[in-house]
Structure 1
Amino acid sequence: MTDKSYVYLDYAASAPLRPCAMEAWMGYHKKPHSVANPNSLHTLGRTAARELEGAHRTLARCIGYGFRPNEVILTSGGTESNNLAVLGMAEGARRKSANKRTRVVLSAIEHDSVLDVASILRSRGFEVVLARPGRDGVVSAEEVASHVDETTALVSVMAANNETGVIQPTATIIKVAHAAGALAHVDAVQAFGRIDLDCADADAVSVAAHKIGGPLGAGAVAMRTRCPFDAQSLGGGQEMGRRPGTQDVAGAVAFAAAAEQVCRELPSVRPQVEALANHIYERICAPGTGIIPTTVAHVDQTRLPGMVSVMVPSMDSESLVLKLDDAGFEVSAGSACSSGSLDPSHVLSAMGIARDEALGSLRVSFDERATLEELDAFCDALLAIVSSN
């Protein structure tokens, strides 16, 4: 690494750590009880446990919708949160139904941490079906309903897509699942702290710290106590027995600090960040630039604020990312979890986007900490790269 400065615009992969989270993490480690296991009975252990309980309370309040502190299961991040919820809830629903519910419905645009669970579910005797999106990137409740029946154990859908930013109709999809007696899980990893979640009746909601400026390696699943669930790991009785293992109290405290800030500031931050994203779309997708939006859903209220998803049919994503990196701008080709692949994004393919267009996809993501000057400089660099190609 040289002394060259970079403008980081890949917040959807991992957002920069917020000062409040850093202060909470550092502050915890300066306390005498930071050395203690929060499950120990001695004074330091009980003190650590109280801090852990405080983090549970804060996260439950920020997620909202009546989730109680003891219903927040701490995990190592979004991937574990999704793995745990989908596997554990599917198994729990099947057991409760005396093996009558053996179908799991996922959307075809889910994150790999959900879709890759499909093979495990099938190996355990489940039928897994995928609900497909329209060209607009939306998985409709009607499409989900066409796959749901009395054998369905679980429906899992994301609150907003991590590549296109398109917000999904979670509330109506949850109603479809419940009407058939199935459980409903919402992957809100990308949406939490960026929009008001529409998860009032969800049985479980997954979130992660590093997407909102919290620490890497911290996540959670808010899951109703009434929700049938089979733990996927064995050990102690931590997290109400649903996720055994000694908890990372410092990580939980830092996660809670970041969540509290982003949720408190959301009403004022969202329109500010939406305006910045709209400005980028107007500049780089102007007629004659050769850059097109991934979907028509690039206006306020239909996509995540601070996420710009475009395609450059004349170029491939890898070249674009590397050229922008050389120019000092850090962006992503769709999902960072699948970077390095020369295949089109599974999300764009599911939407019916042509291969030559999908191979030139680009995702730019940020929050209120990005400046207009930085974003304009990015636009200048991208337009120059595309025009010289």
Structure 2
Amino acid sequence: MADVAPIVNLDFAASTPLRHEAREAERTYDASPIAGANPNALHRLGRAAAQSLEEARRSIARSLGARIRPSEVVLTGGGTEADQLALLGIAEGVRERDRTRTRVVVSAIEHDAILDNLPLLRAAGFETALVYPNRQGVVEPGALRDLMGRDVALVSIMLANNETGVIQPVRELAAVAHEAGARIHTDAIQGYLHIPFDVGELGVDALSLAGHKVGGPVSTGALYLASRTPLRPRVFGGGQEAGRRAGTQDVRGALALAAVARALGPHVAEERCRVGALADDLYRRLLSHPRIRASMGDPFQVDRLPGIVSVLIEGADSQELVLRLDAAGFAVSAGSACSSGSTAASHVLRAMGLTADEAAGSLRISFDDRVDPSSLTRFADVLRDMV
């Protein structure tokens, strides 16, 4: 393993360090008789592994809402897989029931895990349409209603944006989708266990989550799929997850993700307040510089995730700033880490109405409840001096 010089990680929106609870769950599993046992086997070890898997599923279900059934939780190999399963699987499942529903509507600010699947939808015979946000990065229900019709099979709009942190009015958007008889999925990967929500109150038919955004293992995730939601599986070959996602389940990963859900779930609201106050303070420090502004306009006039600060630096190149900040001991992002190899301006910021030049100077600073507040103060000072 390569040595890494001491650095303050402020790129938690990309991925987070494994939490103590997840690590302990993995160690307990590794030392148990069921370590490596297939939960689909009929022998005692298999049955014990299956019982542990279902206990993990129950914990994940409880973290999503009081009335969520464990059978509505499909375990996946991460958030990207959960997104694709929802987008392609539900669209095709709906069309199999009603051949007139041949259109899918998604927001223009979705993660690439959604947007990069649109060509697959079109190849499968669907039409696709984008609904754009306002200047603050919010997808308004009226804008979605303008695109709806009786031919829409599925709507997919994220719970909170991974670049700006702006939270979407999903409950109202779900109502608009259902008015037209369409199903709705929300990518909650960035918001899960960072803001309180109840899936039942959101009113969505499907919701994606990922473990590595909250201190769980990489390649763990789940798709909440409401009962009676039509779904055509994307992976075949075993019938696991009630036939919705084939492949031997990762019991170890599920137990670790469930441990994080149990640890964080009861404290989401209070941690949102505490971490949100740190973000507010960082915004105030940064925006006092005349060349730094928030990407969504006034950050105090929009509902945001607690641990994401998104700013634009006038006349700067974000890639250069990321490298200079790295040399100064701070890890931040110029946008979504999944798009870090691209030099194109952020599709999220462009969809919000920013010019390419404005978007070229964007930075995303992200953290969770484990951040040292003094490191945020030092970061603000360093970036202000650098600008």
Q: Does the 8 Å CA contact 2:64/2:198 hold for their aligned counterparts?
A: no
Q: How does 1:17-96 map to 2 (within 5 A)?
A: 17-64=18-65, 66-96=67-97
Q: Does the 8 Å CA contact 1:67/1:223 hold for their aligned counterparts?
A: no
* C-alpha separation in 1, matches of 2:149 and 2:156: 14
Structure 1: gaps of 5 or more residues: none
* C-alpha separation in 1, matches of 2:84 and 2:168: 20
TM-score, length of structure 1 as denominator length: 0.97
The alignment partner of 1:35 has SS state of coil
Q: How does 1:214-225 map to 2 (within 5 A)?
A: 214-225=216-227
Q: Does the 8 Å CA contact 1:274/1:300 hold for their aligned counterparts?
A: no
Q: Does the 8 Å CA contact 1:292/1:310 hold for their aligned counterparts?
A: yes
- State the match for 1:360 in structure 2: 361
CA displacement at 1:225 relative to structure 2: 2.3
- State the match for 1:193 in structure 2: 193
Relative to structure 1, the CA distance from residue 300 to residue 278 in structure 2 (aligned partners, 3 Å threshold; closer, same or farther) is farther
Q: Does the 8 Å CA contact 2:63/2:265 hold for their aligned counterparts?
A: yes
* C-alpha separation in 1, matches of 2:149 and 2:4: 58
User: Which has the higher mean CA deviation after the structures are superposed, 100-109 or 198-207?
Assistant: 198-207
1:4-41, Cα deviation, whole Å (9 max, x unpaired): 21100111000111100110011111101112100000
Letter matched to residue 373 of structure 2: L
* C-alpha separation in 2, matches of 1:341 and 1:223: 33
CA displacement at 1:224 relative to structure 2: 1.3
Q: Does 1:381 align with 2:377?
A: no
* C-alpha separation in 2, matches of 1:33 and 1:215: 19
- State the match for 1:259 in structure 2: 261
* C-alpha separation in 1, matches of 2:301 and 2:345: 27
The alignment partner of 2:364 has SS state of strand
The alignment partner of 1:23 has SS state of helix
User: Which has the higher mean CA deviation after the structures are superposed, 296-305 or 142-151?
Assistant: 296-305
Letter matched to residue 166 of structure 1: V
Q: Does the 8 Å CA contact 1:109/1:347 hold for their aligned counterparts?
A: yes
Letter matched to residue 255 of structure 2: V
User: Which has the higher mean CA deviation after the structures are superposed, 190-199 or 295-304?
Assistant: 295-304
The alignment partner of 2:122 has SS state of helix
Select which of 216, 241, 244 maps to 1:242: 244
The alignment partner of 1:139 has SS state of coil
Q: How does 1:278-317 map to 2 (within 5 A)?
A: 278-288=280-290, 290-296=291-297, 298-299=299-300, 302-317=303-318
Relative to structure 1, the CA distance from residue 3 to residue 66 in structure 2 (aligned partners, 3 Å threshold; closer, same or farther) is closer
CA displacement at 1:384 relative to structure 2: 1.6
CA displacement at 1:260 relative to structure 2: 1.6
* C-alpha separation in 2, matches of 1:248 and 1:340: 30
* Percent identical residues: 50
- State the match for 2:329 in structure 1: 328
* C-alpha separation in 2, matches of 1:3 and 1:80: 30
CA displacement at 1:354 relative to structure 2: 1.4
* C-alpha separation in 2, matches of 1:171 and 1:132: 17
Q: Does the 8 Å CA contact 1:166/1:297 hold for their aligned counterparts?
A: no
Q: Does the 8 Å CA contact 1:191/1:197 hold for their aligned counterparts?
A: no
Q: Does the 8 Å CA contact 1:297/1:303 hold for their aligned counterparts?
A: no
The alignment partner of 2:252 has SS state of helix
Q: Does 1:212 align with 2:214?
A: yes
1:127-172, Cα deviation, whole Å (9 max, x unpaired): 0000001111001111111111000100000000000000000001
* C-alpha separation in 1, matches of 2:36 and 2:30: 8
Q: Does the 8 Å CA contact 1:75/1:219 hold for their aligned counterparts?
A: yes
Q: Does the 8 Å CA contact 1:294/1:311 hold for their aligned counterparts?
A: yes
* C-alpha separation in 2, matches of 1:304 and 1:177: 24
Letter matched to residue 338 of structure 1: S
The alignment partner of 1:206 has SS state of strand
Q: Does the 8 Å CA contact 2:65/2:198 hold for their aligned counterparts?
A: no
Count of matched residue pairs: 384
* C-alpha separation in 2, matches of 1:262 and 1:128: 37
Letter matched to residue 29 of structure 1: D
* C-alpha separation in 2, matches of 1:198 and 1:37: 32
Q: How does 1:122-271 map to 2 (within 5 A)?
A: 122-197=122-197, 199=199, 200=201, 201-271=203-273
Letter matched to residue 152 of structure 2: T
- State the match for 1:16 in structure 2: 17
* C-alpha separation in 2, matches of 1:245 and 1:340: 31
- State the match for 2:276 in structure 1: 274
* C-alpha separation in 1, matches of 2:363 and 2:228: 41
Q: Does the 8 Å CA contact 1:25/1:250 hold for their aligned counterparts?
A: yes
The alignment partner of 2:299 has SS state of coil
Q: Does the 8 Å CA contact 1:170/1:198 hold for their aligned counterparts?
A: no
Letter matched to residue 155 of structure 2: V
TM-score, length of structure 2 as denominator length: 0.97
* C-alpha separation in 1, matches of 2:299 and 2:356: 21
* C-alpha separation in 1, matches of 2:298 and 2:247: 42
Q: How does 1:338-353 map to 2 (within 5 A)?
A: 338-353=339-354
Q: Does the 8 Å CA contact 1:313/1:358 hold for their aligned counterparts?
A: no
CA displacement at 1:380 relative to structure 2: 1.4
Letter matched to residue 354 of structure 1: T
CA displacement at 1:301 relative to structure 2: 6.7
User: Which has the higher mean CA deviation after the structures are superposed, 320-329 or 191-200?
Assistant: 191-200
